[in-house]
Amino acid sequence: MWDFPEALYIDIGQYIEKLVRWMLVNMSGFFDAVTQVIIWVLLRVQDGLAFIPWWAYVALVFLAGWRLGNWKRGLSYAFMLFLVGAFGLWGLMIYTLSIVFVSVFISLLVGIPLGVAMAKFLRFGQILKPILDAMQTMPSMVYLIPAAMLFGLGLVPAVFATTIYALPPIIRLTYLGLMNVNKEVKEAGQSFGSTGWQLLQKVELPQALPTIMTGINQTTMMAMSMVVLSSMIGARGIGQEVLTSINRLEIGRGFNAGFAIVFIAIIFDRILQGAANRFKTSE
């Protein structure tokens, strides 16, 4: 009698399932179109990334590290990238990167306007905040299921799941950045008779830029972690290596892939953070 009575069981999941199934039936045209577009963009990005020779990446990373920090940093980032190649994972890395880039791009495209809307319409913000909390706490693998149902297997559901997972930080930090714009600076903008759009574009967004840059950094990090998981629904990339080594209990192979992911993440993080700091000091 101490057990929770079965009569009181509620199944929230079934409604989400119903929704997804309904979308599948009634919105298949839409999803097909989205799939086509994403695939097209992904392939272009992949082609573009593959077109650049490996040493150009290494050189680029070195330059970025050097300009944003010092030559030692540049050198260490370049070495890390070199190691990824040396592990034999260069080709898979290009796949991974293309998913990350496309997902981050879509996240920014959707997330920044949403962040602005949150800051401008506080009521909307109050509704969105708990949703964002839920999105960030939800175990990331759960996103894979509807993604796979809606888009099938492969790259597109990976992009979809990654985008959803990577979305909250950019929304949140855009919102935060806008809310923290110095009150007097905003008043100054208003006092000269700016329209709402002028204020946003000429005052608020530029002032919030350092925070938004931090958001871009976090979103990219989230995308990096999700893209690994998305290999579970058939996306190519370094995550595939991890998955294979789990299945076959190949410790060495697993750690090679793991380190490669860590290296890429570090390079992204440091370079984006360096760029964000650059904006901060230019205030």
Partner 1 sequence: MEEEYKIKIEGVSKVFGHGSQKALALLDEGMPKEKVMEKTKCAVGAYNVDLSIREGDTFVIMGLSGSGKSTLIRCINLLNRPTRGRICIDGENIVEYDKDQLKEFRRHKVSMVFQHFGLLGHRNVLRNVEYGLEVRGIDKDKRREMSMQALETVGLKGWESYHPRQLSGGMKQRVGLARALANEPDILLMDEPFSALDPITREQLQNELLKLQDELHKTIVFVTHDIDEALKIGDRIAVMAKGSILQYDKPEDILKNPVNGFVESFVGSDRLWKTPDMLRAEDIMSKKVVEIGAGRSVAHAIELMKEHNTNVLAVVDKVSPRPNKLLGIVGTNRLKGVTDHSVKMGDIMKTDVVEIPHSMNLTEVLGIRKDKKIQYSPVVDDDGKVIGIITNASIVNVLTDIVPEAEEY
Is 194 or 225 the residue whose CB approaches partner 1 more closely? Answer: 194
Residue closer to partner 1, measured from CB, 2 or 197 = 197
Question: C-beta of 278: minimal distance to partner 1 in Å?
Answer: 12
Distance from C-alpha of 117 to C-alpha of 208, rounded to nearest angstrom: 14
Cα atoms in the 13 Å half-sphere on the side-chain side of 259 = 16
Residue among 280, 269, 274 at smallest CA distance from 210: 280
Binding site for partner 1 (CB under 8 A): 182, 184-185, 187-195, 198, 202-203, 206-207, 209, 282-283
- Residue 120: CB minimum distance to partner 1, A: 15
> What is the sign of the dihedral through the CA atoms of 247, 252, 253 and 258?
positive
Of 156, 135, 134, residue with least CA distance to 147: 156
Q: How far apart are CA 103 and CA 230, in angstroms?
A: 12
Distances (CA, A) of 159 to 38, 101, 113, 222: 8, 9, 20, 12
CB of 184 to partner 1, least distance (A): 4
CB 213 to partner 1: min, Å: 13
List, in order, residues 6 or more apart from 60 with CB less than 8 Å away.
none
Pick the closer one to partner 1 by CB: 84 or 178: 178
* Tokens linked to 24: 């599948």
Nearer to partner 1, 81 or 203 (CB): 203
Which residues are CB-neighbours of 166 under 8 A, at least 6 positions away? 103, 104, 107, 219, 220, 222, 223, 226
Residue among 137 and 282 whose Cβ is closer to partner 1: 282
Nearer to partner 1, 55 or 192 (CB): 192
For tokens 């892939």, the residue is 257
Give the shortest CB-212-to-partner 1 separation in angstroms. Answer: 12
Task: Find the shortest distance in angstroms from Cβ 126 to partner 1.
Answer: 15
